[in-house]
Amino acid sequence: DVKVTQSSRYLVKRTGEKVFLECVQDMDHENMFWYRQDPGLGLRLIYFSYDVKMKEKGDIPEGYSVSREKKERFSLILESASTNQTSMYLCASSFQGVGTNEKLFFGSGTQLSVL
Amino acid sequence: QQQVKQSPQSLIVQKGGISIINCAYENTAFDYFPWYQQFPGKGPALLIAIRPDVSEKKEGRFTISFNKSAKQFSLHIMDSQPGDSATYFCAASRPTNQAGTALIFGKGTTLSVSS
């Protein structure tokens, strides 16, 4: 069965901490994505990657960075966590197929609270 | 900023009724329009998708209607059931700087089907 696993379901951090959110997929997908989900704002794309060591900014990259050293793992980094980064973070992956029929497989999310 | 506008924000439908959720987009470069369904505590999952070369796609009780000239598409859920109660997101696939695409999501519609 297809699986995208996020390392933590709930995370509580303090303002100014460096935070790492980890995501692993077992489907040999080329593409990986990080979204954040906020009530009334839907899912907003933070960063994505189409290959190892490659990354591209999404629509809200400020305050975040990413790392993809291995194909199966995509990490989201909050360099200095702030309270406005309190959110649900969703990781997703997909095949890099021909055309644009990319089915995203999502993890269950990490609810991050920054105090 | 490229956007997908979704309405209504919330919807209450009686069991057996028809649920209709609407989305509109601006960028004609979008070329793939999926709908995702999300249950509490889970990540979104692909429900149904359409490409702009067809005006309608049906899978069971779920139908996408697509109006290319109006740049609108909608999800119809026939014979709505309590098990359909979830949050629904429309999305559109847009080209990126790299070889591939990224999904841009609407803000979501929370559907409640009353029994």
Per-residue pLDDT band at B14 (split at 50, 70, 90) = very high
CATH of the domain at A16: 2.60.40.10
Chain B neighbors of A40, CB-CB under 8 A: 9, 107
* Range A76-108 burial, b when 16+ CB lie within 10 A, else e: bebeebeeebbbbbbbbbbeeeeebebbbbbbe
Residue B96: per-residue pLDDT: 65
Q: Given this model, what pLDDT does residue B1 score?
A: 53
Does some domain include residue A111? Answer: no
- Residue A76 in any domain: the answer is yes
- Number of structural domains (chain A) is 1
Distance CA A59, CA A69 (A): 23
Position A105 in a domain: no
Min Cα separation A2/chain B (Å): 12
CATH assignment at residue B8 = 2.60.40.10
Cross-chain Cβ contact A59/B98 below 8 Å: no
Contact B93 A100 (CB under 8 A): yes
Range of the domain at A45: 4-96
Residue A85 located in a structural domain: yes
Domain residues for the domain of B96 are 4-114
Contacts of A34 in chain B (CB under 8 A): none
Q: Residue B108: closest CA among chain A residues belongs to which residue?
A: A42
Q: Which residue does chain B place closest to A95, by CA atoms?
A: B100
Q: Identify whether A101 is part of a domain.
A: no
Number of folded domains in chain B?
Answer: 1
pLDDT at B111: 98
Spatial distance between the Cα atoms of A16 and B100, rounded to a whole number of angstroms:
34
Is B107 close to A42, i.e. CB distance below 8 A?
A: yes
- A56 inside domain: yes
Among A92, A96, A111, CA closest to A2: A92
Place of tokens 């702030």: A82
Closest CA to B3 of A34, A41, A76: A41
**pLDDT in single tens digits along all 115 residues of chain A:** 679 999 899 999 999 999 999 999 998 888 899 999 999 899 999 999 988 988 999 989 999 999 999 999 999 999 999 999 999 999 999 887 655 457 899 999 999 999 9
